[in-house]
């Protein structure tokens, strides 16, 4: 009788697991930032704090069995993050990558065992912990756009002789993995 009961329960468990994998895959697909963080043994209060803070940055944070997270990551094309799924971890996702990075790093100061292990930016660039810290120091995109537009307005004193050429060069340098300041002193993988 027990074996018969287990046979009926197994397909239901498989369906639940597949639903979780599909749900996580959808949540991670095409997000600006997907980060994996070590959580340690969170208290209920710490877990609620993390959830509130990540939601305030426009993101969400999820604690799901690592094997299911790994399947969801593979389905979402985030295979590079799978090796980080060791021990007690959570995945945080969001579309405002700077705000989410700032929030996650701020949370690590409030929750002792919480820290970012790595992330994927724009579904293509793998970030180590130190690169997530650099991302968190960037100004929001709206500030960058505002500053750029204000430099091009009539009557403004242009510090860059040809703003369009400078922007193209800066974006080209950034996309090739150089430092955002154009110094070229950063390490490349």
User: For residue 20, what is the enclosing H or E element?
Assistant: helix 2-28
Is pLDDT of 82 > 90? yes
pLDDT of residue 166: 72
Residue 125 gets which letter from DSSP?
Answer: E
CB 127 within 8 A of CB 161: no
Q: Which residue has the higher pLDDT, 162 or 107?
A: 107
Is pLDDT of 30 > 90? no
Q: What rounded mean pLDDT belongs to the chain? A: 83
Is pLDDT of 10 > 70? no
pLDDT of residue 60: 96
pLDDT of residue 141: 74
Is pLDDT of 80 > 70? yes
């Amino acid at each position: 009788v027990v074996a018969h009961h287990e046979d009926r329960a197994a397909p239901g468990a498989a369906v639940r697991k597949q639903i979780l994998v599909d749900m996580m895959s959808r949540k991670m697909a095409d997000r600006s930032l997907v980060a994996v963080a070590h959580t340690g043994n969170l208290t209920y209060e710490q877990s609620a704090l993390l959830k509130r803070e990540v939601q305030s940055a426009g993101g969400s944070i999820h604690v799901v069995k690592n094997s299911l997270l790994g399947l969801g990551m593979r389905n979402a094309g985030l295979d590079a993050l799978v090796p980080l799924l060791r021990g007690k971890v959570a995945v945080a996702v969001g579309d405002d990558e700077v705000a989410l990075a700032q929030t996650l790093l701020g949370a690590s100061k409030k929750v002792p065992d919480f820290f970012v292990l790595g992330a994927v930016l724009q579904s293509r660039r793998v970030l180590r912990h130190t690169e997530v810290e650099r991302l968190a120091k960037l100004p929001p995109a709206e500030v960058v756009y505002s500053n750029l537009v204000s430099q091009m307005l009539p009557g403004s004193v242009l510090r860059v002789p040809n703003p369009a050429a400078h922007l193209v060069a800066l974006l080209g340098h950034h996309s090739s993995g150089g430092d955002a300041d154009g110094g070229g002193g950063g390490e490349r993988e």
